[in-house]
Structure 1
Amino acid sequence: MATKDASATKPKRNNPFKQIAAVYRAVRSMDSSITWWLLGVFLGIVAIFVLIGFLVGHPIYFTFIGIPFGLLAAMLTLSRRGERAAFGAMAGKAGQSVGALSMLRRGWYYDQEPVAADVARPQEVHNAAMIFRALGRPGVVLIGEGPLPRAKKLMEREVKKVARVAPGVPIHQLYVGDGTEQIAARKLPRHMAKLKKMLTKEEMSAVNKRLKSIPGIRQGIPAGIDPNKARMDRRQLRGR
């Protein structure tokens, strides 16, 4: 098979206008009112600056100042409405937690696939109970979704697994959904960001390596590693 020489091809520059257009089309497919929202925000901001311009005697000057602010406000609106539309499309669907985790800022490790799942019947994947796992400065965050009773049983098992390989590390248990004991998927990133930071970056890296030793749905126990016998304390986490 022939391979391309990276030095022979020039890297393509990303066109920001094409990217914005692509985002707009994607959001419009989920939120048909986005065009009116963007126009309303843009014209509203510009109108405020024009009014200020008339009050101080420089309407044209303030109009030109208001245009970039109007564009910025429109872009922020596009982002917020797009995020809300995306969560609305994912609501109630299996795997919505992954969409929420993808909204996290830097400083988090998380798995794209569930670390545990319970499907009553093969054809009922939409009604599956699943556990997703994330790791950040606050510690390990386990997120359950699906039918709550089954999700809680899976959660108990995962908490024990994590505690075995990383004793002393905080484990937070959250459930995504619309129930009284659950958090809406769109609120999950903000909720996780508010958790108290307990680990250093070095400790996070060490814990992440230990978590990878836990057998998952499609993962067997790596050779030479027995997570049931693994132990860790704070000094080990720091590599001391």
Structure 2
Amino acid sequence: MARREKAGATAAPKPKKQRWKRTRQLKQVYDMTVRVDPSAKWWLLLALVGPIVLGLVVGLLVDHPIYFTILGVLVGVLAGMFLLGRRAERAAYMNLEGQKGAAGAALSSIRRGWTIEQEPVAAEARTQDMVFRGIGRGGIVLVGDGPPTRVRKLLEAERRKVARVAPNVPVHVFTVGDGGSENEVPLRKLASRVQKLKPQLTKAEVAAVHKRIRALGGIRPPVPQGIDPMRARPDRRAMRGR
């Protein structure tokens, strides 16, 4: 019994190690954010120092400088953490912009209410344009990853395929861009735009739609280069030799 208690005590994580791990993760987030968005450090400094200075001034006016300064420190830390989270998210999207598969990564940030395909459901080998798909109570979402004017054909082909197996389900088509048209959404706003879609299906209907859409499958693997099964010919000399 004593051995079990001792083993359990040994396995429990030490608070110091946990604090150090969290501090290191926080530093990594800060370094990434500042590297992508250098102006973030000044906004973070303002969010931290501003409440402290304000608390000190108010404290001096009401003759309670220590109390209001401590309150300013707490508010400053909370404001700094909140701003760091927002700036880190923005920096992550800035880092993704222009990369292939960025639309899929943005969709994957949706945690609840939607089932997001991790792999593209359609792709163009020559241009490397892709289409990603999500299914939720708002219907079916198709997002084109590529120049909006070029990826529309690929999106329309996928929309027709989806409409055949789920004819009464709303299909929302988006492209990633600067928001020049109604269905063109900036990458950083893609997840929130999908989450704001009005629910039109029940949970049971979503499961049924997901089952139907699964029948479409994914991208077929390409035939290895140098092999064309439609032009393959038997070796007649070898056959005669047998």
Q: Could you tell me the TM-score, scaled by structure 1's length?
A: 0.76
**What residue in structure 2 maps to residue 203 of structure 1?**
205
Displacement after TM superposition at 1:142 (Å): 0.5
Which digits, 9 at most, give the CA deviation of each residue in 1:75-127, with x for residues without a partner?
A: 1111111122222222222211123213324211111221101132xxxxxx4
Q: Identify if the C-alpha distance between structure 1 residues 203 and 16 changes in structure 2 by more than 3 Å, giving closer, same or farther.
A: farther
Change (3 A) 1:147 1:26: closer
- Offset from partner CA, 1:188-240 (integer Å, 9 cap, x none): 12211221111222322232232222121147xxxxxxxxxxxxxxxxxxxxx
Rounded Cα–Cα distance in structure 2 between residues aligned with 1:179 and 1:194: 16
Q: Which one of 177, 185, 195 corresponds to residue 193 of structure 1?
A: 195
Equivalent positions of 1:78-93 (< 5 A) are 78-93=84-99
Which residue of 1 is the match for residue 66 of structure 2?
Answer: 60
1:152 maps to: 152
Q: 1:148 to 1:119 in 2, by over 3 A?
A: farther
Find the aligned partners of 1:189 and 1:32 in 2 and give their Cα distance: 25
Q: 1:216 to 1:12 in 2, by over 3 A?
A: farther
For residue 44 of structure 1, what is the aligned residue in structure 2? Answer: 50
Structure 2 unaligned runs (5+)? 1-6, 222-242
Deviations 1:164-186 (A, max 9, x none): 22231111011112362321111
Alignment match, 1:141: 141
Q: Percent identity?
A: 45
Q: Which residue of 2 aligns with 1:97?
A: 103
**3-state SS of the aligned residue for 2:185?**
coil
Structure 1 residues 185 and 11, CA, compared in 2 at 3 Å: closer, same or farther?
Answer: farther
Q: Which residue of 2 aligns with 1:167?
A: 167
Moved more, 205-214 or 183-192: 205-214
> Structure 2 vs 1, CA of residues 211 and 12 (structure 1 numbering), >3 Å: closer, same or farther?
farther
**Residue identity matched to 1:168:** N
Q: Does the C-alpha gap of structure 1 residues 97 and 48 become closer, same or farther in structure 2, counting only changes over 3 Å?
A: same
C-alpha distance in 2, partners of 1:165/1:11?
A: 52
Q: Quote how far apart the aligned CAs of 1:55 are.
A: 3.2
2:217 equivalent to 1:215: yes
Which one has a larger percent helix, Structure 1 or Structure 2?
2
Larger Rg: 2
The match for 2:41 among 35, 44, 60 is 35
Q: How many residues align?
A: 208
The Cα of 1:36 is off from its aligned counterpart by: 2.8
Structural RMSD (CA): 2.6
Instruction: Determine the structure 2 residue equivalent to 1:25.
Output: 31
Q: How far apart in 2 are the matches of 1:21 and 1:110?
A: 30
